Amino acid sequence: MAYNKIETYDEKITNDLIHHYKSSIELLGEDVSREGLLKTPERVAKAMQFLTEGYQMDAKAILEGARFTEAYSEMVIVKDIELYSLCEHHMLPFFGKAHIAYIPNGYITGLSKLARVVDVFARRLQVQERMTHQILDAIQETLQPLGVGVVIEAQHLCMMMRGVQKQNSVTTTSAFSGQFEDGRTRNEFMRLITK
Ligand SMILES: [Zn+2]
């Protein structure tokens, strides 16, 4: 994963994190001075800053920066957007796919921007349910379409690794607004993302 996407790591924050991760690793019974672990606190500090960089990003600004006038008013669907996030209860990954649809009402956005909006909300400590609604709200408020549908399918390592859940079971969450509250539109969306 490209941790170097963060161009400048705040030095004070990085150093504080390194200090805390060193302590954490020691408290877990490891020897932070052994060769394999020497640079681990620094790597973890940078990885965690990358994986939570969504706090510094503004989903609405991303969508507004690529909002175009367009008369198209059929359903726009972007499916299978890869998603990697961290559950806020255990700080362990959950990962899967997001499917987004909207029906334009005068404005469209760049398709890649929808994927970036997913990253904005995925790269922070999250619960899948809230993330689903945050993505929907950002699109609804900036593009003001006739409706938005968001479906997220994800597997949660905090459940899988602890044996709370059968391996490979997938949690699905969804949020709908406007015309997607109508069964026919919603069903069309669901049919298009499952085939
Ligand atoms: Zn969890």
Q: What is the dihedral of CA 89, 92, 97, 98, to 10 degrees?
A: 30
Q: Is residue 1 part of a domain?
A: no
Share of the chain above pLDDT 70, in %: 96
Q: Do 124 and 169 share a domain, yes or no?
A: yes
Assign 3-class secondary structure to 97-131.
EEEEEEECCCEEECHHHHHHHHHHHHCCEECHHHH
- How many domains are there within the chain? 2
Q: How far is CA 57 from CA 28, 50, 137, 159, 186, in A?
A: 33, 12, 15, 28, 30
Q: Is residue 165 part of a domain?
A: yes
Q: Classify residue 137 by burial, with Cβ atoms within 10 Å: 0-12, 13-18, 19+.
A: middle
Residue of 87, 99, 126, 134 marked active site: 87
Amino acid type, 83: L
Q: Is residue 22 part of a domain?
A: yes
The one-character DSSP state at 37 is: G
157 CA distance to ligand 1 middle (Å) = 7
Residue of 49, 126, 128, 179 marked active site: 128
171 CA distance to ligand 1 middle (Å) = 12
Amino acid type, 48: M
- CATH for 120: 3.30.1130.10
Q: Give the tens place of pLDDT for each residue, 138-183.
A: 999 999 999 999 999 999 999 998 877 677 789 999 999 999 999 9
133 tagged catalytic:
no
Q: Is residue 6 part of a domain?
A: no
- CATH for 41: 1.10.286.10
Mean pLDDT, residues 56-75: 94
Q: Do 44 and 85 share a domain, yes or no?
A: no
Show the domain range for 20: 11-51
Q: Do 156 and 87 share a domain, yes or no?
A: yes
Q: Give the tens place of pLDDT for each residue, 14-31.
A: 999 999 999 999 999 999
Alpha-carbon span 94 to 65, nearest angstrom: 29
